[in-house]
Amino acid sequence: MRIFVTGGAGYIGSHVCKALARAGHEPITFDNLSTGHRWAVKWGPLVVGDLGDAAGLKKALADSRAEAVMHFAASAYVGVSVVDPRAYYANNFVNGKNLLDAMVDVGVKSLVFSSTCAIFGDQKTELLDEDHPQNPVNPYGETKRSFERAIHWYGNAYGLRSACLRYFNAAGADPDGETGEVHDPETHLIPIVLAVAAGARSHIDVFGDDYPTPDGTCVRDYIHVLDLASAHVLAIEHLHRGGPSLRLNLGTGQGSSVSEVVAAARRVTGAEIPVRVSARRAGDPARLVADGRASRATLKWTPTSSDLDTILRTAWAWARKPRTA
């Protein structure tokens, strides 16, 4: 397949483009490079454009002759979404609607959407399954939830088939060192912890140690970006075979606290990694851990690289690799 990949120059998008190419597909990256990187586009052509330009987007999609779309382009900083929800609704919902409209107009019927566990809000059960109540606690999660609903209604009206893949905490890097995580500013825990290990930061701020978790720090389900990428390939191939629309949680079912991540990073890097406890950060649930049984049953997908040490080893190799930012 030829697949139109919005945000393909970003962290997850570039890993998925590599996985698509390895599976025999041709990814066409559409990215405005506001947070993505030219160097990350290595497995197909790059079209520089913006989802906010509806006419330019429609032309780019038509010119690509794509059979399917993967949509990664979005704003994804939880804290920023709390203080600037206007920007998040504009980029994650309004610009996303431009993409849906372009797909309908051009006649592309298959979409894999990069969603998030943030649509659920505070976790009410031991593991989050697909039927868990959705009550986002930040605008980032709310905009993703709203766009999932838009996809549903477009599917009903226009025959769009979709897979909304709800990530838990993407982490790690390509073991070949061809792509990895580079954000500015960086807000994700693992690259920040590794920056401290490398001497680029003085300490790690832990935002709250009084959560209702075993050690008081937030618990998250970390999933290697390679495992996420493989799920995307399986999902787009499922749709290409005529399979029905899907809403799936992608996680391991195992949670790690912030303190446990820091301890594992000390073990992997051999560095001290000083910690400073700060106030809780607005919009952070205490625990987010997936029930991944539906994704395993539907896609026959099994995470193979998502143990914490493998995640940290690949991310540590990437963090020490000279590159163009």
SS3 36: coil
Which residue in 149, 79, 57 sits closest to 87, CA to CA?
Answer: 79
Here the tokens at position 286 are 């205490």
Helix (H) or strand (E) holding 295: helix 293-299
Outline where DSSP puts E strands in 21-136: 26-31, 46-48, 68-71, 110-116
Q: Is 222 a catalytic residue?
A: no
Give the whole-angstrom CA distance, residue 152 versus residue 96.
13
Q: Please say whether the dihedral angle defined by the alpha carbons of residues 154, 160, 161 and 164, taken in this order, is positive or negative.
A: negative
User: What does the longest C-alpha to C-alpha distance in the chain come to?
Assistant: 56
**Amino acid making up residue 297:** A
**Residue whose structure tokens are 């838990």:** 168
Tell me phi and psi for residue 120, to 5 degrees.
-85, -30
Q: How far apart are CA 135 and CA 273, in angstroms?
A: 35
Is residue 19 within 8 A of residue 230, CB to CB? The reply is yes
Q: Which of 140, 154, 167, 222 is catalytic?
A: 140
Q: Under a CB-based contact definition with an 8 Å cutoff, are residues 85 and 139 in contact?
A: yes
Distance spanning both ends of the chain, measured CA to CA: 30
Cα 205 to the chain's mean position, in Å?
Answer: 23
Positions marked active-site: 140
